[in-house]
Chain A
Amino acid sequence: MIRARCEVLSSRRSGVYWSVTLVAPDIAEQAKPGQFVQIAVPEGRKFILRRPFSIHQASRRGGWAGTLEVVFDVVGPGTAWLAESKPHDVLDVIGPIGRSFQYPRELTSCLLVGGGYGAAPLYFLAEELRSRNKFVHMIVGARDHERVFKPIEGKRLADTIAITTEDGTMGQRGRVTDVLASVLEKTGAEVVYACGPNRMLRAVADHCREAGLPCQVAVEEMMACGVGVCWTCAVPVIGLGGRGWWNVRACVEGPVFNGARVWWDRWLGDEAEGHAASPDGFARMLEPERVEARPR
């Protein structure tokens, strides 16, 4: 984890999303897929917390060496401020933060499932997996075709890609989980990685647990500090062997977790009931709408 002042190399639209590329050689050198950075957003005189952004690309070689790219949607004052940044602006960045996706040693066929711009870190992951000679399959979904994140890039990177949109304007109509079983069967994928809305992660993790497949998820939770001191971003995780549970920090003990160990019911509420049946389910009803203060 490094704190650095990073120059903005470019700030541009990426479809309906925004993309900011930073000159951040020290952070890029260390960054791994699934990790994130905390960017200070000094919006005028306002006292405003840093915002977490997952790392879409960290380039260590070639013409883009030493750069870091984050992708986001404008959902509040922090992301609006960042979207306004111009080349040569200097940002205060802390990173890379958190536990990254773990690469399989033995298994060779990987399925990467992304929802919305939550798919962003999966392209970084796909490159790293390919460089380790793994097969990479992808499912990328979104509400509509405009929100499908970089489908052409996905086709270039992945051995196979399935695209879903809820309105049917691109790929198959439906959600990523609607095609999960058939893609797993067709590709024979042995390990699953997922990043996107928490509810999608839960559905993917549940499916994988039933199918006996290892599944890593990069979660999102509100955070204040992002460096492990404030204990805001708590995720309930079940102990090894199913014994006991503890609230762990999404920032430094996540954001990537073993999907089978996250206690989804406690964290997001009991979905099967369709309503919060217990005080614990309260958390789901109160899921913050302001997604910017959560890692992607």
Chain B
Amino acid sequence: MSTTATSLTVDLDGVLFPTPVLAASGCFGSGKEMSEIIDVHRLGGIVTKSVTLTPTKGLATPRMVETDSGMLNAIGLQNPGVDEFLSKDGPFISSAGVPVMVSVAGKSVEEFAQVTMRVREMPGVVALEANISCPNVERRNQVFACHPDQANQVIATMTRLTRLPVFAKLTADVTNIVEVAEACIRAGAHGLSVINTLLGMAVDVENFRPRLASVTGGLSGPAIRPVAVRCVHQVSRALPGVPIIGIGGITEARHALEFLLAGAWAVQVGTANFINPDVAIQVAEGIAAFLDRKGLSGVAELRERLQLPDRVAEPAYRSG
């Protein structure tokens, strides 16, 4: 662990995290279970499992299949609904001693609004993350982040209802992620969480059947990291000054540093928590050691440091 005074605190334009490494939504519950085996105070923050207005039972099993360097999941947003979330997880969140972002999900703009109104006064919550990009929904048109207009509507509705900063969680399963990012920022999003899982599928060839009960699912883990880094790079170049949280396949400090150099202000670690519950703490320690070694004073300095070739024929972040 770094013994110098290097501060790991990051300031996402007013939203402060003690380290730049948060636990990602759906991979950490609200932190209660994990607090049995790790010191949650040493995390940068926790993003809760997504909460919907009413209890959601989720999809049939098998809900998960391991793939090369990753896994597919199709949970289907199972959660007890916002009222039980408030009564059961609320007390833990308010006393967790670590910044918490509540992940809000819904099938409609109206549902996002209803959930936002119920969670906006929760103690201990520093921001909301709008999960507009979960691939495991009934209809593809419920993946709001696939359409700039729909993404804009959800975010605009949420930001009208609360002063809490809203981070829009984007998907890479689009032709032009910059367009969606811009639509979210126009709607008042404080920042962007980049990216959610990628829609994927695996087949059991012996039995001629899909491996997931719901056929398709969200791919996560190291397999998606290059895609995620690319998305952060594109979005950060197009929208300088917008806080971006990089997410996708981080299992060690070097991976997080890729995102921070590509333009992220902080990162989230997801799937790796399943293998190593301490991973977010260890990644933060590794970042501190790296900053020391490079003589840098803080994480924010990394954002300016990516050395791109002078002339890129067609920058991926340029619109049109």
Count residues of chain B with CB under 8 A from any CB of chain A: 46
Instruction: Tell me whether A227 and B277 are in contact in the complex, defined as CB-CB below 8 angstroms, given that A46-B69, A47-B222, A234-B78 are known contacts.
Output: yes
**Any B CB within 8 A of the CB of A246:** yes
By the criterion CB–CB under 8 Å, are A47 and B251 in contact?
yes
**Any B CB within 8 A of the CB of A180:** no
Alpha-carbon distance A2/B58, docked complex (angstroms): 29
Whole-angstrom distance between the Cβ of B103 and the nearest chain A Cβ: 13
Q: Which residues of B contact A285 (CB under 8 A)?
A: 207, 209
Alpha-carbon distance A3/B278, docked complex (angstroms): 10
By the criterion CB–CB under 8 Å, are A222 and B64 in contact?
yes
By the criterion CB–CB under 8 Å, are A231 and B66 in contact?
no
By the criterion CB–CB under 8 Å, are B64 and A224 in contact?
yes
Whole-angstrom distance between the Cβ of A81 and the nearest chain B Cβ: 13
Q: Which residues of A contact B223 (CB under 8 A)?
A: 47
Instruction: Tell me whether A221 and B273 are in contact in the complex, defined as CB-CB below 8 angstroms, given that A2-B37, A3-B37, A229-B29 are known contacts.
Output: no
**Any A CB within 8 A of the CB of B71:** yes
Alpha-carbon distance A286/B63, docked complex (angstroms): 10
**Any A CB within 8 A of the CB of B210:** yes
From A117-125, A150-158, A169-177, A287-295, give the one contacting chain B.
Answer: A287-295
By the criterion CB–CB under 8 Å, are A247 and B78 in contact?
yes
By the criterion CB–CB under 8 Å, are A234 and B63 in contact?
yes
Of the candidates A94, A227, A289, the one having the most CB atoms from chain B within 10 angstroms of its own CB is A227
By the criterion CB–CB under 8 Å, are B36 and A1 in contact?
yes
Q: Which residues of B contact A221 (CB under 8 A)?
A: 61-62
By the criterion CB–CB under 8 Å, are A229 and B34 in contact?
yes
**Any A CB within 8 A of the CB of B191:** no
By the criterion CB–CB under 8 Å, are A283 and B274 in contact?
no
**Any A CB within 8 A of the CB of B161:** no
Q: Which residues of B contact A235 (CB under 8 A)?
A: 61
**Any B CB within 8 A of the CB of A296:** no
Complex interface residues of chain A between 186 and 242 (CB less than 8 A to chain B):
221-235
Alpha-carbon distance A221/B71, docked complex (angstroms): 16
By the criterion CB–CB under 8 Å, are B27 and A230 in contact?
yes
By the criterion CB–CB under 8 Å, are A231 and B273 in contact?
no
Of B26, B57, B71, B209, which contacts A247 at CB under 8 A?
A: B57
**Any A CB within 8 A of the CB of B304:** no
Complex interface residues of chain B between 57 and 90 (CB less than 8 A to chain A):
57-58, 60-66, 68-71, 73, 75, 78
In the complex, per-residue mask of B28-57: 1 if CB is within 8 Å of any chain A CB, else 0: 110001101110000000000100000101
By the criterion CB–CB under 8 Å, are A223 and B64 in contact?
yes
Whole-angstrom distance between the Cβ of B92 and the nearest chain A Cβ: 13
A-B contacts at CB below 8 angstroms, number: 120
By the criterion CB–CB under 8 Å, are B277 and A286 in contact?
no
Complex interface residues of chain B between 246 and 299 (CB less than 8 A to chain A):
251, 271, 273-278
By the criterion CB–CB under 8 Å, are A232 and B251 in contact?
no
Of A50, A233, A234, A287, which contacts B275 at CB under 8 A?
A: A50
Q: Which residues of B contact A222 (CB under 8 A)?
A: 61-65
By the criterion CB–CB under 8 Å, are B62 and A49 in contact?
no
By the criterion CB–CB under 8 Å, are A227 and B78 in contact?
no
Alpha-carbon distance A287/B275, docked complex (angstroms): 23
By the criterion CB–CB under 8 Å, are A246 and B36 in contact?
no
By the criterion CB–CB under 8 Å, are B27 and A234 in contact?
no
Alpha-carbon distance A94/B38, docked complex (angstroms): 11
- A3: nearest chain-B partner, CB-CB: B37
Instruction: Tell me whether A47 and B33 are in contact in the complex, defined as CB-CB below 8 angstroms, given that A286-B211, A286-B213 are known contacts.
Output: no
Instruction: Tell me whether A231 and B49 are in contact in the complex, defined as CB-CB below 8 angstroms, given that A287-B62, A293-B66 are known contacts.
Output: yes
**Any A CB within 8 A of the CB of B165:** no
By the criterion CB–CB under 8 Å, are B60 and A282 in contact?
yes
Alpha-carbon distance A92/B37, docked complex (angstroms): 13
Alpha-carbon distance A235/B78, docked complex (angstroms): 12
Instruction: Tell me whether A289 and B206 are in contact in the complex, defined as CB-CB below 8 angstroms, given that A3-B277, A231-B58 are known contacts.
Output: yes
Of the candidates A233, A235, A247, the one having the most CB atoms from chain B within 10 angstroms of its own CB is A247
**Any A CB within 8 A of the CB of B99:** no
Whole-angstrom distance between the Cβ of A275 and the nearest chain B Cβ: 13
By the criterion CB–CB under 8 Å, are B58 and A247 in contact?
yes
Alpha-carbon distance A3/B276, docked complex (angstroms): 10
By the criterion CB–CB under 8 Å, are A252 and B61 in contact?
no
Q: Which residues of A contact B275 (CB under 8 A)?
A: 40, 47-50
Query: CB within 8 Å of A: which residues of B?
Result: 26-29, 33-34, 36-38, 49, 55, 57-58, 60-66, 68-71, 73, 75, 78, 204, 206-207, 209-213, 221-223, 251, 271, 273-278
Query: CB within 8 Å of B: which residues of A?
Result: 1-3, 40, 46-50, 92, 94, 221-235, 245-247, 252, 266-267, 279-280, 282-283, 285-289, 293
Q: Can you name 15 A-B pairs with beta carbons within 8 Å?
A: A1-B37, A3-B38, A40-B276, A46-B69, A47-B221, A224-B274, A225-B273, A227-B34, A228-B29, A229-B49, A229-B273, A231-B63, A246-B55, A280-B60, A286-B204
